[in-house]
Amino acid sequence: METTRKILQSDCSFGGVSPLMLPFPYPPLKVQEQNQFYVNLLTVDYCGSVSELTAITQYIQGESCMCCEHCAQARTLIGIAMAEMIHLQKLGEMIMLLGGQIDYAVPTRSGKSQMWTPAYIEFESKLPAILSANIEAEKAAINQYEQHMKMIEDSCINAVLARIVQDEEYHIMLLRMM
C-alpha cells in the first residue's frame, strides 16, 4: 500500500523585488556635530517599539503569513521591508556620525537600556489585519519622526528624516491600495 504525500509549497517568487520607495535621492548623511541627545532620539527610531527594525520584522512576518495565498501583496510587503532596511541603514550611519553606537538598545529615563524585542511586533496572520497593523505602524512612525524633527536642531539630520517620512507616507498609500 503506497501512501501519496502532498507537497506544499509557495508559488511566490521574490526575484526582482526592489525597495518600494519614492524615486528621488536621500540628502547626504552628515551631521553638524556629535550630540548624544540626538543619538538617543535616532536610536528610538532605529530600534525602539516604533522603529525601522520593528517595521522590517513586522513586514517580514506579515509576508510569511501571506506568501501562500496572496503572492502579489506578499511581494509588496517585501518591497516595503527593503525600503525600511534602507531607512535603518541611514539611521545607523547618522547615529555613528553623532558619536553613538549600534547595540539595539534604547536608553530609558531610568538610565537602563531597553533591548529591542519581538514583543513590539503586531503578530497578525490575515490580510486585512496585516495591512491595518502596518498602516497604523507607518502612521506612528511618521508621528514619531515629526516629533523628533521638532527636537533636533540639525538641518542635515532633519532633511534625512523628512525624506524617510515621505517614504512612510508612500507606504501608507500602497497598503491602502491593497
Let me know: does 137 contact 170? Beta carbons within 8 Å.
no
Supply the pTM of this predicted model.
Answer: 0.92
The residue among 45, 57, 10, 7 whose CA lies nearest residue 165 is 45
* Identity of residue 146: E
Q: Predicted confidence band at 1 (pLDDT cuts at 50, 70, 90)?
A: low
Is 70 exceeded by the pLDDT of residue 8? no
Is 90 exceeded by the pLDDT of residue 110? no
Q: What gap in Å lies between CA 137 and CA 91, rounded to an integer?
A: 18
Q: What gap in Å lies between CA 39 and CA 63, rounded to an integer?
A: 31
Output 127 or 10, whichever has higher pLDDT.
Answer: 127
Structure confidence at residue 7 (pLDDT): 64
Q: Strands 113-115, 105-107: parallel, antiparallel or unpaired by DSSP? A: antiparallel
* Long-range contacts from 118-126, C-beta under 8 angstroms, 24+ separation: 118/57, 120/48, 120/49, 120/50, 120/51, 120/54, 120/57, 121/54, 121/57, 121/58, 121/61, 122/58, 123/61, 124/62, 124/65, 125/65, 126/65
Structure confidence at residue 9 (pLDDT): 60
5-14, 78-87, 135-144: lowest mean pLDDT where? Answer: 5-14
Please state the rounded mean pLDDT for residues 134-161: 98
C-alpha cell at 4: 501519496
If you compute the radius of gyration of the chain from its CA atoms, what whole number of angstroms results? 18
Q: Predicted confidence band at 10 (pLDDT cuts at 50, 70, 90)?
A: low
Percent of the chain with pLDDT strictly greater than 90: 81
